[in-house]
A and B are shown apart, each in its own frame.
Chain A
Amino acid sequence: MPRRCAFAWMGMALAVCALAAGCQPGVSAPPPTTGWVAGTLRLGQRADFRSLDPAIANDTALVPIMRMIFQPLLDYDDGVHLVPLVAEAMPALSANGKTYTFHLKKGVRFSNGREVTADDFVYSWTRLLNPKTKSAGASYVVDKIAGAHDFADGKADRVVGLNAPDRYTLEVELVQPDLTFLYVAAMTFLAPVPREAVEKYPEADRNEEFAVHPVGNGPFVLKEWRRNLRMRLERDPHYWGKPPALEAIEVKFGLEDITKQMMFERGELDLTETIPAPDYVRLKNDPRWQSYFVRMVFNGEYYLNLNCEMPPFDGPNGKKVRQAFNCAIDKDRLVRLSNGRYTPAVGVVPPNMPGYHFPGKGYSYDPEKSKELLAEAGYVDDPEHPVVLWLGNETGGGERMAEVVKQDLAAIGVTVELNPVTYDVFLPAAGKRKTVACSLSGWFQDYPDPSDFLDVLFSTKAISDSESNNMAFYSSEEADKWMDAGDKETDPAKRMRDYERAEGVVMDDAPVVPLVDAVEIWLHQSWVKGHRLHPVWLVRYEELSISPP
């Protein structure tokens, strides 16, 4: 090696060592005791929010913020039970089970000072269904409200199922009896917006302008939004309910998880929920930080989808192969490798569903039984043609899960090849018929009801030639029968029994391997009071306050 080159490499190596030595994480600093801002909650986000129009906003992280600006008819109590919010009481249901009548509270006001009326709900829900609004929320109501399809398809000029007989009464006629409509009515998509605040803008820019100048009926109003930089909400003086303890909420954007963690530990942010794995282990093991962690099992589950229309999971022996896969995966190891950020999944419906009980015992980890089932099915492994496991890069911790699945299946003699792709590629491919034999996906609740998992992921109606949510392409007359019965049943207890039967059928047919349930882990500063996780909203900012530690 020439002398100059050797000298350069030595210098470079020394510099790198010196820099690396200066950057050893070492021991954590204690939780900060200064840096808080009285009355202001400071949050951080990776990506900016798309829109503050309730018809458009569908970012998961935005929902707790949207609740602070817009309030729908119903809300949840501290658990998963619905309670009235803008509605005076829970709605009356007609004898045929198809019409809900909501009576609105008097004195509920938008931030422009005007009172919220039933007409505002008719306008807002009609706007949601208008294709020009380009609302993802339309999916939740278009099949439920009478006349919604005709309106969305341009065959009618109004939604016949939506009526406001007087200023404070809203009648909603459904296509068929459907108790889940009440959960949908609690979604921020269905919060009211004042017509005058939307229509004051030229038609071509109406939705885009309202998205950045929202007028809602919640406890906070938008004061400032600099795209990709920060957003500030302040208390609404017109708010009709109990004023929140916080005076303002500030959100900073563009923060990668590592950056956000640094800012949090320096006391520049008050809450964080995106703790990078190494920092989580470091802080979890530090007794000074432990009391500021808040954990909750959330209704979100990760599945290994086994396409029932493709080999080796199709045909008369496919069921045994699928059951073999279910017995082969060591879910406890998945949990250990995630440092407890998941919990093992037992059934296909996550655990926190009101009145719901998982039927059966599920599949326990038993590699020997897996081998027997594979032998009975006549399964022959061909390393030249392995089972290709697709995963999208946005499936949380998906690569690690997929590696465990690959190793566990190798232990029973099944060769698996991983195919990680971007989520934009994953979604259309895995949802297309006879394209992806095996995939890893997650599903998080829209509302705490078993139908939000069973109907959406395992019913025949959730299969289409492309864009299927039913990525296992599982179709069972018996499971469909129980799901349909549950969908139409108006007695809540009977409904749950119908869904339990449906899940029993699905579990026996094993179209998926339920891998793990999501665990939400949040960390807050010592000066944040009242922080507890909610099973639907995750965080309710109206409960929080800032006071010296």
Chain B
Amino acid sequence: MTRRILSRLLQSAVTLLGVSVLVFFITHAIPADPVAAVAGPKADPETRERIRKELGLSDPLWEQYGRYLWGVVRGDLGKSFVTGERVTDAILIRFPSTLFLSIGGVAIWLIVGVPLGVLTAKYRDRPVDRITLVLAMIAISLPTFWLGRLLQFQFAYRDGLLPVAGFYNWQCLILPSVTLGVVGAGFYARLVHSSMVEVLNQDYIRAARARGLSEPVVLFKHALRNAVIPVITVLGLDIAGLLAGVVFTESIFALPGLGALALQAVLSMDVPMIMGTVLFAAVLVVGANILVDVVYRLVDPRIQ
């Protein structure tokens, strides 16, 4: 197990190096000038040139990349071109907002999605199954930028039940979490449903019932435990994707998270911040993959 994890960590380091090379050179291939964001549109060419030199952007690309990589190795992701903030600090300050939002969203996925999946599998082809799966499909089809704005309009602007935007108390996280959660809940309901349907037809389930075990024990102890393995795979990747990809939800609800930070960095061509946020997201995805590997083995000892 330890050897396996070490080997995965080594592979991950290579992956991250690849990501950094790709992002660095793609960022520099875009026909936009990072100096424009620093100097503003009205600075004269000489001032822009002086700023370019100060930022080290006049140096050859390989030299800039080498300098960046050496910084990363020492744990320094550099400073934002635009705000001067240390990239590491900027990411760490914004991480809690994204983390709380993700926890809220994932909680809804699982609390709503898993029981619905089990329920629909149990009552397969009955009205409750069909209605729930149609609703789940609708939920999956909803674009988050539309759903978020709709929830915000109705429950915050019109009814005044919840804050319109911001990150000042736990109520601020309800609408964004629901926005994220609805889509995922629909998806996980369908995923658990299909996995459960398959498991419920197995002989050992029939045997469990024949032994007189109660239905909840059959469903949740024997069936769900086996049905959940594909769910863990997808969940691990989805959580990592969530942390890096909550741009729309954070923008709509003005949450100061990583998605908003990355978006702003891209819009202002803030190269160190783009690199930092992408690398951080890559670390999360790679980390989630390793974690899924470990959890697999804990859930199902048959997997070697």
Contact = CB atoms under 8 A, between A and B. Distances in A.
A230 B43 CA distance: 28
B130 A4 contact: yes
A102 interface: no
Contact of A12 (B138, B152, B253): B138
A252 B166 contact: yes
A263 B166 CA distance: 10
B153 A131 contact: no
Interface in B141-166: 141, 149-150, 152-154, 156-157, 160, 164-166
Contact of B40 (A7, A23, A58, A258): A58
Contact of A255 (B41, B44, B165, B261): B165
Interface in A419-478: 422, 424-425, 427-429, 446, 456, 464, 466-467, 469
Given A22-B154, A228-B256, A428-B31, A464 B45 contact: yes
A229 B256 contact: yes
A298 to B, nearest CB: 16
B57 to A, nearest CB: 11
B41 A427 contact: yes
Contacts of A249: none
Contact of B134 (A12, A50, A429): A12
B46 interface: yes
Given A227-B93, A252-B254, A50 B82 contact: yes
Interface in A1-49: 4, 7-8, 11-12, 15, 19, 22-23, 47-48
Interface residues of A, number: 57
A400 interface: no
Contacts of A429: 31
Contact of A226 (B45, B55, B256): B256
A23 B135 contact: no
Contacts of B42: 58, 136, 139, 446, 456, 469
Given A51-B83, A262-B156, A424-B269, A253 B256 contact: yes
Nearest to B41: A427
Given A134-B38, A136-B47, A266-B164, A23 B255 contact: no
Specify which of A22, A138, A139, A464 lies most central, judged by the most chain B CB atoms within 10 Å of its CB: A139
Contacts of A131: 50-51, 53-54
A29 to B, nearest CB: 9
Interface string A99-139: 00000000000000000000000000000000110111011
B149 A258 contact: yes
Contacts of B300: none
A420 to B, nearest CB: 15
A121 B45 CA distance: 26
For this complex, into which size category does the number of interface residues on chain B fall? 35 or more
A255 B254 contact: yes
B99 interface: no
A497 B154 CA distance: 58
Given A11-B138, A256-B251, A464-B45, A427 B36 contact: yes
A425 B32 contact: yes
B63 interface: no
A150 to B, nearest CB: 13
A279 to B, nearest CB: 11
Interface string B254-269: 1110001100100001
B84 A207 contact: yes
Contacts of A266: 156-157, 160, 164
A179 B106 CA distance: 63
B23 interface: no
Given A134-B55, A136-B43, A252-B254, A262 B264 contact: no
A266 B165 CA distance: 12
A446 B42 CA distance: 9
B137 interface: yes
A208 B264 CA distance: 19
A139 B256 CA distance: 33
Given A12-B137, A228-B260, A263-B165, A19 B150 contact: yes
Nearest to B133: A8
Contact of A11 (B41, B50, B135): B135
Contacts of B150: 19, 23
